[in-house]
Structures are given as structure tokens and as C-alpha cells.
Structure 1
Amino acid sequence: MDVLADSLRSLQLKTEVYGRLELSAPWGLKLDLGHPGFFHAISRGGCWLEIEHKRIPLAAGDWVFILGGTPHVLRDSPKTRPYPLPEIYAAHGGQCGGILRYGGDGTPTTLISFSFGFKGTWLNPVLAGLPRVLHVKGDGVVSSRWVESTVQLVAAEMEAGRPGHEIVATRLADVLFIHALRTYVETLPPEMGGWLRALEHPQLGPVLQQLHERPQHPWTVDAMARIARMSRSMFAARFQGVIGESPLSYLTRWRMHTAMQRMAESDESLTAIAEAVGYETDSAFGKVFKRHVGQTPGAYRRQLRQSRESRRGTAVRGSPSSRQSLA
């Protein structure tokens, strides 16, 4: 099993190309749009990113990944006044997902911007270990060149505007997300840990693979240590140091994440789901689930169903046929 792929699938990543921004100085953009994530790549030129009281210079080939819907500003100079991006689109007749030309007659800069959404965040480990602002410079690292090449391909698709270019750009953005994660891991100092680093660890990686592949197995720290070919104490210390939590705590969190995913995607009984994630009784599963999620499995499932029914009702009310019948 590819643990990263498995975790990314459970995230239910939704990527949307926000636009190819052809900018010329002076220009300034303010982004406070509530998206869970943003990706900006500098295809040409350079600019300043201002976020969380920090000012970061961005050059051609650089990219930055912003998590948590953090408001931020992009501009050619710290002295240029920024305006909300939706207002700029509206004023210039642009369309989200298309090409926007904005600014004066100064130095040109091209930005490729995507927004990211995650339906299956729950207790997923992918996002837990990422910083809110992830900046990688286009310095020739192999993965960085992959990112740059993909960005240029997206830019070319959007510029050509051929039929289906939005779908192509969106699929490429999904690939870009994975390349971004890989590049981030490669740029980490050797002493830094984290879940993504643990995936490539020669001793911890195989353990994570087994935990994801068989969450229902009656795991013990001793059994995990044998897979890692380490002593129990050394394995527990290494796992804690790299991933930031104990092996059993990680296992429990992944089991709860898997259970929540199965509830969202199937009509399996709660008993079957409990067994699938390693619990022999509903009561034992229920106690752990409530401790991690804040509500019982039954209450969580009812909430999911109510949410689905609400979305279906909204879709029906908004459909052309329903509008015609009300006319």
C-alpha cells in the first residue's frame, strides 16, 4: 500500500484553478476568501507575499502553499496598495479560473493560483504535519523542477483556452499538490521530523504501511518494533521523536479517521465498522470514538445523513425543473 496515496484519497482533495494572473507593476492583491488552502506559483517576474506579519520575497520558479484559509497579500512592492481579488476580477470583467490582466505598465509578473478544499480532513495525518505557510524556492531541486514544469503546463493550457482546458488544469493541479508535498519533504533539514518524513524512514515507513493496511489487527508496540527491527524502547522513542505522538496514539487516530471515512462513504453497520478498525465490541469502539470526535458513532452518522439530505434538498430546489414548477 502507498500510505501517502491512501491518505490523500481519504482527504477527498478538491482543486480549483483560481486563475492565471498577468500582472504589471504597480499591483497588489488581497486574498481573504475562506478557502482551506491556496497555492501560488511564480511563473515569471517576482513579488512579495505578506502573511501573518511576515514579508516573504518570491521569485520566478518559487511556489508557496498556504493552509487554513489564512488571509494574505501579494504585491509588487510593499508600498503598493492591495485590493481584494474578487473586486479586481469584477472591475476588469475577469472570470475566476481564467486569465486576469491587471496593474500598470511596469515590470511584468505572472502568477498561477489554485484553491484547495479538503472534505475528508477528519483526523488525517497529511495536513497535521504541514506548516501554515510552505515556501519552496525554484533552486533546481529535481522535485522543484517537476513543480515548475507542471505550473508552466497549466499556464499554457489556460493561455490556449482550448475546450476542456479547465478540467486539464484542475487535474494537473492535483498532481501539483503531490509534487509540492514531495518537494517539501526534500527541503526539510535532516533533523526535522514529521509524518511525511516518516513515510521515507527506512524503519518507520514499513510500520506506517502496515498500520494503514491492517488497522483491524491487534497491534502492540512490540509487534510494531519487530517490523521496524528495533527494540521496543528504541522504536517507541524514535516514533515519538519523528511523528510527534506515540505509536498507539497514532494507531487510534488512524482507526478513528478510517471509521469516519467508512461512515461517510458506505451504509455499513456500526458493528461492522468497529470490527474493521480493530474493536471487538460496539461499546469499546464507541468510547474511543467519542473521546476523539466528541460525539458517539450513532450521533455522528445521523449528522452525516442530515447533511446529505440537506444538500440534496438544496440541489432539488435549485434545479431548473424545480424553478419552472414554482414559476
Structure 2
Amino acid sequence: MCEAPVLWFNRPSREAWMDVLADSLRSLRLKTEVYGRLELSAPWGIKLDLGHPGFFHAISRGSCWLEVEGQRLALAAGDWVFILGGAPHALRDAPRTRTRPLPELYAETGAQCGGVLRHGGGGPQTTLISFSFGFTGTWLNRLLEGLPRVLHVKGDGVGATRGVEALIQFVAAEMEAGRPGHELVATRLADVLFIHALRTHVEAFPAEKGGWLRALEDAQLGRVLQQLHDRPKHPWTVEAMAKLASMSRSTFAARFQKVIGESPLTYLTHWRMHTAMQLMAEGDASLTAIAESVGYDTDSAFGKAFKRHAGRTPGEYRRQLRQREG
């Protein structure tokens, strides 16, 4: 299939909440696969079972049915859906229409990545804009694990959806025109769409149902998480975190474990290692400087913690990064 290369208070303030979330999104290395603009005429049916972590489908004209994980959703013009977890799914003009794998249709029609694919029986028209997303960055898993697998946003043309709809129409126009570089333009816009969709997903999700999200929304735990993310170098102790949360040490530790699923110091270590990995991937700072920036006084202590976390030494990890990039 065609691929495009890589992208306090009674409650924490919205800015603080989003700052911690932004730390996860900033570390995201996104790889977008642009399926293109699908011009479909009834009867038609497509299925996707490609194992990608995320899918995005927008209906710019007509209507269709989506089936995913036992759900059946009716989609209309202006609607878009965001599917997480690589779930196999199908789109079709009517509930009983037979489906075919999308890669098979590309091969059959000779359609190009990021362009227009035309398929169907000549009946009523539906236009889809479709992408899939792959990404690295294990920290994002904390967010994804707490979210529902399917987000359906109706195209009401108000609020946050207006911006997404404008992007969708721009992507559709680029694919239709087919001008030089349109694949790259579509890929970059798809990256933006992913962030918009993920942000909408988070904002629509009741935080009380998810561990990490619930912690971000919690007045006391959210305050601590923000400070851990902002200051990984600080010599944190459970006592210091509990004081920041205005709780006793034992109460804080128990609550943190219950909501997030791990101890405060384990969480801190994971964040420090994640930050160190990002610094190795994004620059040429020495390992000593990176160790100091995430709270380790010696290379030896940093190396031992890193190897327990990643299964390899910092030097080995950096060499593997450079080999993949080179």
C-alpha cells in the first residue's frame, strides 16, 4: 500500500492540563499513510484490516455505514470518525453490501497514493477522505489506553469541528487537483488532522473513566504530574510530591497507585527515561548532559536505570537510533 514518510486550584487549569498532554504529543513520531480521496458510487463496500494504530475517515459528500468492533454507525456528509487501536473495520453504502479490501481496489484501479480512487456500481455518490496513522512514543499509550476506540464527530459546522472540516476540504481539493507535491501537502495536513482528532477525542472523553486522564483532571494529582513533567531534574521524593498535593505521604502514595496504576517513583522514572530517549533522538547532547537533565548525578546511575527501563545501555540505544536514521 502507498505510504508517505514521516510527525491549581479546585481543578487544574485547562492550560496546565494541556501542558502535560502536550508533553506526550510532542514526543509523537507520526507516520501517515494517505489512502486518498475515495469517490464511491453505490453499491460499494471497503474493509481495512492493516494493523495501523489509528484511522481517520471523513465524509465530504453522501453517506455510508461504518462497522467496527460490533458497532454500526451511520455517517453523513460532514461527519468524521477517528478509530484507535488498529481495529479492523468496514465502510459501505448499505448494511448488507459486500466489502473488498481497500489495497485490492488500489491495485485493481491503478489509483495513486494521495490521489483519487473511483469505485462502485454507478449509483448515489459518496466521497471519503481516508488516512491511517502509525506512531512511536510509548508515553502516548497511557493516553490511548484510556480512550474509547471510536470517536464519531457529526459535522455541525460549529466549535472545534469547523477547523477540522476546513482542513478536510483543503485535503480533498489537493487530492483532486493533483498538482506537484500534493502527496506531501496531504501528508502534512493529515498530521494536523491527527492532532485535531486526538485533541477532540480527549476533550470529549469523561476523565473519570481513564486512569491517566483522570489524574490530569484531579486537582491534587494533576498538580503533581505537571511539576514532574516540568522538572524531571528535581530530586523528587514521595514526601515532596505528597506535600505538593497537600496530602499525607501514605494517602498520596495509595491514591497515586490506585488512579495511575503504578507508584509515584516508578512513574517519575518512566518519565525521566522517556525524556532521555527524546533528547537522544532530537539532538547531540552528551549522555552526561542528558543524565543530569533528567535527575541523575552520575553516568553510572543513569545507565543502570536506563538499562532496566529499555533493556539496553544509553550508548547502545543512541547507536541504534543513528543506524536507523542513517
Which TM-score bucket, shorter chain as reference? Answer: 0.7 to 0.9
Q: 1:20 to 1:81 in 2, by over 3 A?
A: same
Instruction: Give per-residue Cα distances to partners, 1:162-189, cap 9 Å, x unaligned.
Output: 4544344333322222221222123223
Given that 2:85 and 2:149 are in contact with CA atoms closer than 8 Å, whether structure 1 keeps it comes out as: no
1:182 aligns with 2:199: yes
- For residue 115 of structure 1, what is the amino acid of its counterpart? S
Given that 1:193 and 1:241 are in contact with CA atoms closer than 8 Å, whether structure 2 keeps it comes out as: no
Q: Distance in 1 between matches of 2:123 and 2:282?
A: 52
Given that 2:53 and 2:133 are in contact with CA atoms closer than 8 Å, whether structure 1 keeps it comes out as: yes
Task: Work out which of the residue numbers 229, 232, 239 in structure 2 matches 1:212.
Answer: 229
Q: Distance in 2 between matches of 1:278 and 1:127?
A: 25
Q: Distance in 1 between matches of 2:255 and 2:162?
A: 32
- For residue 59 of structure 1, what is the amino acid of its counterpart? L
Q: Distance in 2 between matches of 1:190 and 1:132?
A: 11
- For residue 3 of structure 1, what is the amino acid of its counterpart? V
1:193 aligns with 2:219: no
- The answer for the alignment partner of 1:301 in structure 2 is 318
Stretches of 4+ moved more than 6 A in 1? none
Given that 1:44 and 1:108 are in contact with CA atoms closer than 8 Å, whether structure 2 keeps it comes out as: yes
Q: Distance in 1 between matches of 2:30 and 2:248?
A: 38
Q: Distance in 2 between matches of 1:90 and 1:173?
A: 23
Q: Distance in 1 between matches of 2:48 and 2:200?
A: 25
Moved more, 270-279 or 202-211: 202-211
Moved more, 199-208 or 215-224: 199-208
- The answer for the alignment partner of 1:135 in structure 2 is 151
- The answer for the alignment partner of 2:186 in structure 1 is 169
C-alpha deviation, 1:135, in angstroms? 1.9
- The answer for the alignment partner of 1:100 in structure 2 is 117
The 3-state SS of whatever aligns with 1:219 is coil
Q: Distance in 1 between matches of 2:253 and 2:169?
A: 44
- Structure 1 residues not aligned, in runs of 5+: 313-327
Q: Distance in 1 between matches of 2:255 and 2:58?
A: 35
The 3-state SS of whatever aligns with 1:23 is strand
- For residue 83 of structure 1, what is the amino acid of its counterpart? R
Given that 2:58 and 2:79 are in contact with CA atoms closer than 8 Å, whether structure 1 keeps it comes out as: yes
C-alpha deviation, 1:56, in angstroms? 2.4
Q: Distance in 2 between matches of 1:190 and 1:255?
A: 25
Task: Work out which of the residue numbers 259, 262, 286 in structure 1 matches 2:303.
Answer: 286
The 3-state SS of whatever aligns with 2:292 is helix
- The answer for the alignment partner of 1:277 in structure 2 is 294
The 3-state SS of whatever aligns with 1:191 is helix
C-alpha deviation, 1:255, in angstroms? 0.9
C-alpha deviation, 1:155, in angstroms? 2.2
- Structure 2 residues not aligned, in runs of 5+: 1-15
Q: Distance in 2 between matches of 1:266 and 1:85?
A: 39
Q: Distance in 2 between matches of 1:222 and 1:198?
A: 18
- For residue 66 of structure 2, what is the amino acid of its counterpart? L
C-alpha deviation, 1:88, in angstroms? 0.9
- For residue 284 of structure 1, what is the amino acid of its counterpart? A
C-alpha deviation, 1:101, in angstroms? 1.7
Q: Distance in 2 between matches of 1:13 and 1:197?
A: 25
- The answer for the alignment partner of 2:73 in structure 1 is 57
1:31 aligns with 2:48: yes
The 3-state SS of whatever aligns with 2:208 is coil
C-alpha deviation, 1:92, in angstroms? 1.8
Q: 1:185 to 1:67 in 2, by over 3 A?
A: closer
**Percentage identity across aligned positions?**
72
- The answer for the alignment partner of 1:9 in structure 2 is 26
User: Normalising by the residue count of structure 2, what TM-score does the alignment of the two structures yield?
Assistant: 0.80
C-alpha deviation, 1:27, in angstroms? 1.0
Given that 1:158 and 1:165 are in contact with CA atoms closer than 8 Å, whether structure 2 keeps it comes out as: yes
Q: 1:128 to 1:59 in 2, by over 3 A?
A: closer
1:40 aligns with 2:57: yes
- The answer for the alignment partner of 2:169 in structure 1 is 152
Given that 1:270 and 1:297 are in contact with CA atoms closer than 8 Å, whether structure 2 keeps it comes out as: yes
Moved more, 20-29 or 161-170: 161-170
- For residue 153 of structure 2, what is the amino acid of its counterpart? K
Q: 1:190 to 1:300 in 2, by over 3 A?
A: closer
- For residue 87 of structure 1, what is the amino acid of its counterpart? E
Instruction: Give per-residue Cα distances to partners, 1:186-239, cap 9 Å, x unaligned.
Output: 322353234345445544444333222221111123323444445545544554
Q: Distance in 2 between matches of 1:144 and 1:247?
A: 37
Q: 1:163 to 1:306 in 2, by over 3 A?
A: closer
- The answer for the alignment partner of 1:260 in structure 2 is 277
User: Normalising by the residue count of structure 1, what TM-score does the alignment of the two structures yield?
Assistant: 0.80
Q: Distance in 1 between matches of 2:308 and 2:195?
A: 32
The 3-state SS of whatever aligns with 1:252 is helix
The 3-state SS of whatever aligns with 2:57 is strand
The 3-state SS of whatever aligns with 1:215 is coil
- The answer for the alignment partner of 2:10 in structure 1 is none
Aligned CA-pair RMSD: 3.0
Given that 2:114 and 2:186 are in contact with CA atoms closer than 8 Å, whether structure 1 keeps it comes out as: no
